[in-house]
C-alpha cells in the first residue's frame, strides 16, 4: 500500500496490491499443489478479484480512509488459496502471510528508496521500483528457493498448526509499525524497520530448525521401526525355510517306506490304489517351504512377507523378480526400498472405499531385475482416483513429503546415484526406481 499517497489524499490506490497479487499468484502456483480443475481456479480467482477490486472502488467512492478496511478485503485472496490448493489449511495460511509479509517489507524499502532518490514523495518511482523488484525476485525464487520452501512446508506439517499464526502476527505487527499511515520517515525509522525484519528472519530460522529437529527424530524412529519390521519378516522367512527343510528331511527318511508300499501295490496289479496312494503323498505335505521369487533371500523374505499380508486382505498380487543371491547392495537398503514400496502399494489399495467398483479389483504388481549392475524396481498398484482433478501429491496421502516410507525410498535411491519416479494413471499408480547396485555400474552411469 502507498504510504506517501495515503498521507496526501487518504484515498487508496490498488497499484501496489496489484503488483503484490501478481507476484503472489506466481509463487502460489509455483509452490503449492492444485486440487481443483483449471476452470474452477479461473472462476475462483475472478470472484476474489471482483470482491477485492469492487470493494476498493466502493470504499474509495464512500471516502473511507481506514486502511484496515482495505486490508480486510484481501482476505478474499486467502479464501481462494484455502479453497484451491491441496495443502493443509495451516500450510496455506503460513505460505500466504509469509509472502504478504515479505511483500510489505519490500514495499516499504521501495518507498524509502524512491523518496531518497527523488527527494520527495516519489510515488511513480516507487511503483516502478516495486515492480522491478518483483520482476527480479520472483524468477529467482522459482529457480533457487522454491524447492527449499516446499521442503519447509512439508516439515511445517510435522509441527503444530498453531505455528501458522506466526507469519500472520508478524505481518500485522509490521503493518502497524511500518504501514502506510505511521509516518516513520526518519533514518531512525528505517533502522528500526530493518532491525525488526532481521528479528523476523531469525525467528523463521529458529522455527524451521525446530521443525527439522522434529522431523529428524520422526524419521529416525520410522527407520528403526522399519528395520524391526524387516527383521521380523526375515525371521519369519528363515523360520519357514527351517520348517521346510525339516519336513523334507522327514519325507526323505520316510521315502523308503512309501516306495515299498507303492511297489507292493504295483506288484498286486492294484494300479488304482497305487495312483490314489501317490496322490495322497503329493497332497499331504502341502507347501514345504516359503515361496521363492528369486535367488536373493532378503528380497524373498520382504516381498513374500508383504505378499502374504496383501493376500490376507483380499488384494491380488503378482511378482516377477529376477535377482541373484548377491546384488552388491546393502541388505538394509534393499529391505528399505522393497519393504516401503510394497507396503505403500498395499496401503493405497486399502484406501479404496468399501462399495467402490475398484474394491474387488485391487492389485499389486511387483517387478524387479538386475541388469549391468543396475537394480530396476517397478511397483504398480490400484488406487482410488482423485475426482478433484488435482492428481496425486507424490504417491501418498500422508503429506507433501509423500510419507516417511517414500522419503526413505527416495533417500536410498539418491544415495546409490539412481532416480525415482511416480506416475499416477487411470485407477493405478506406478512407482519406478533405478539404483546402481555396485561400483561396476559407475562408469556406465557417468557415461
For residue 409, what pLDDT is reported? 86
Tell me if 289 is assigned to some domain. no
CA 103/CA 205 separation, integer angstroms: 19
CATH number at residue 407: 3.30.565.10
For residue 85, what pLDDT is reported? 94
Q: Are residues 52 and 154 in the same domain?
A: yes
Tell me if 290 is assigned to some domain. no
* DSSP at 427: S
Question: Strand pairing partners for 428?
Answer: 382
pTM of the complete model: 0.58
Return phi, psi of residue 117, to 5°. -75, -45
Q: Are residues 159 and 250 in the same domain?
A: no
CA 290/CA 236 separation, integer angstroms: 10
Q: Are residues 338 and 409 in the same domain?
A: yes
Q: Are residues 359 and 238 in the same domain?
A: no
Tell me if 14 is assigned to some domain. yes
Low-confidence ranges of the chain (pLDDT < 50): 1-11, 286-289, 386-402, 439-447
CA 252/CA 318 separation, integer angstroms: 32
Q: Are residues 279 and 310 in the same domain?
A: no
Tell me if 198 is assigned to some domain. no
What is the Cα 78 distance to its own chain's centre?
23
Q: Are residues 391 and 413 in the same domain?
A: yes
Strands (E), 243-333: 316-322
Q: Are residues 18 and 148 in the same domain?
A: yes
Q: Are residues 242 and 151 in the same domain?
A: no
For residue 394, what pLDDT is reported? 40
Tell me if 202 is assigned to some domain. no
For residue 294, what pLDDT is reported? 84
For residue 240, what pLDDT is reported? 61
Three-class SS state of 370: strand
Sign of the alpha-carbon torsion through 257, 262, 263, 264: positive
Q: Are residues 273 and 375 in the same domain?
A: no
Q: Are residues 40 and 181 in the same domain?
A: yes
Tell me if 243 is assigned to some domain. yes
Farthest CA pair distance, the chain: 122
Tell me if 197 is assigned to some domain. no
CA 30/CA 138 separation, integer angstroms: 10
CA 436/CA 413 separation, integer angstroms: 8
Q: How many domains does the chain have?
A: 3
Three-class SS state of 319: strand
Tell me if 196 is assigned to some domain. no
How many C-beta neighbours within 10 Å does residue 237 have? 22
Q: Are residues 352 and 391 in the same domain?
A: yes
Which range marks the domain in which residue 328 is found?
297-446
CA dihedral 407, 412, 416, 420 (to 10 degrees): -40
Q: Is-contact 134 12, C-beta < 8 A?
A: no
Amino acid at each position: 500500500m502507498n504510504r506517501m499517497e495515503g498521507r496526501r489524499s487518504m484515498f487508496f490506490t490498488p497499484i501496489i496490491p496489484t503488483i503484490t497479487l501478481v507476484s503472489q499468484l506466481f509463487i502460489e502456483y509455483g509452490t503449492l499443489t492444485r486440487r481443483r480443475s483449471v476452470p474452477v481456479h479461473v472462476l475462483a480467482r475472478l470472484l476474489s478479484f471482483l470482491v477485492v477490486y469492487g470493494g476498493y472502488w466502493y470504499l474509495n467512492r464512500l471516502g473511507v480512509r481506514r486502511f484496515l478496511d482495505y486490508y480486510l478485503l484481501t482476505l478474499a485472496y486467502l479464501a481462494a488459496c484455502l479453497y484451491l490448493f491441496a495443502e493443509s489449511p495451516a500450510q496455506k495460511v503460513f505460505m500466504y502471510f509469509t509472502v504478504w509479509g515479505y511483500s510489505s517489507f519490500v514495499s516499504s524499502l521501495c518507498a524509502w528508496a524512491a523518496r531518497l532518490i527523488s527527494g520527495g514523495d516519489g510515488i511513480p518511482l516507487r511503483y516502478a521500483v516495486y515492480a522491478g523488484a518483483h520482476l527480479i525476485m520472483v524468477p529467482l525464487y522459482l529457480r533457487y528457493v522454491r524447492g527449499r520452501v516446499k521442503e519447509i512446508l512439508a516439515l511445517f506439517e510435522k509441527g503444530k498448526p498453531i505455528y501458522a499464526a506466526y507469519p500472520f502476527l508478524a505481518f500485522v505487527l509490521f503493518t502497524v509499525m511500518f504501514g502506510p499511515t505511521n509516518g516513520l520517515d526518519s533514518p531512525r525509522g528505517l533502522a528500526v524497520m530493518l532491525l525488526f525484519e532481521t528479528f523476523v528472519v531469525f525467528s523463521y530460522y529458529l522455527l524451521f530448525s525446530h521443525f527439522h529437529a522434529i522431523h529428524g527424530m520422526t524419521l529416525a524412529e520410522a527407520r528403526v521401526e522399519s528395520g524391526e519390521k524387516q527383521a521380523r519378516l526375515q525371521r519369519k522367512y528363515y523360520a519357514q525355510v527351517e520348517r521346510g527343510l525339516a519336513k523334507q528331511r522327514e519325507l526323505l527318511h520316510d521315502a523308503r517306506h512309501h516306495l515299498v508300499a507303492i511297489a507292493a501295490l504295483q506288484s498286486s496289479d492294484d494300479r488304482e490304489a497305487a495312483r490314489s496312494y501317490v496322490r495322497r503323498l503329493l497332497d499331504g505335505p502341502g507347501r514345504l517351504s516359503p515361496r521363492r521369487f528369486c535367488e536373493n533371500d532378503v528380497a524373498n523374505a520382504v516381498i513374500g512377507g508383504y505378499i502374504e499380508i496383501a493376500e490376507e486382505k483380499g488384494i491380488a498380487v503378482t511378482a516377477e523378480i529376477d535377482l541373484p543371491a548377491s546384488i552388491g547392495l546393502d541388505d538394509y537398503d534393499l529391505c528399505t526400498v522393497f519393504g516401503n514400496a510394497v507396503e505403500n502399494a498395499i496401503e493405497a489399495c486399502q484406501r479404496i472405499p468399501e462399495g467402490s467398483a475398484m474394491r474387488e479389483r485391487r492389485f499389486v504388481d511387483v517387478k524387479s531385475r538386475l541388469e549391468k549392475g543396475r537394480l530396476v524396481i517397478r511397483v504398480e498398484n490400484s488406487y482410488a482416483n482423485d475426482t478433484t482433478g488435482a492428481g496425486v501429491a507424490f504417491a501418498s496421502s500422508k503429506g507433501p513429503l509423500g510419507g516417511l516410507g517414500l522419503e526413505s525410498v527416495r533417500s536410498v535411491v539418491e544415495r546409490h546415484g539412481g532416480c525415482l519416479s511416480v506416475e499416477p494413471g487411470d485407477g493405478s499408480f506406478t512407482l519406478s526406481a533405478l539404483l546402481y547396485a555396485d561400483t561396476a555400474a559407475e562408469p556406465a552411469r557417468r557415461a
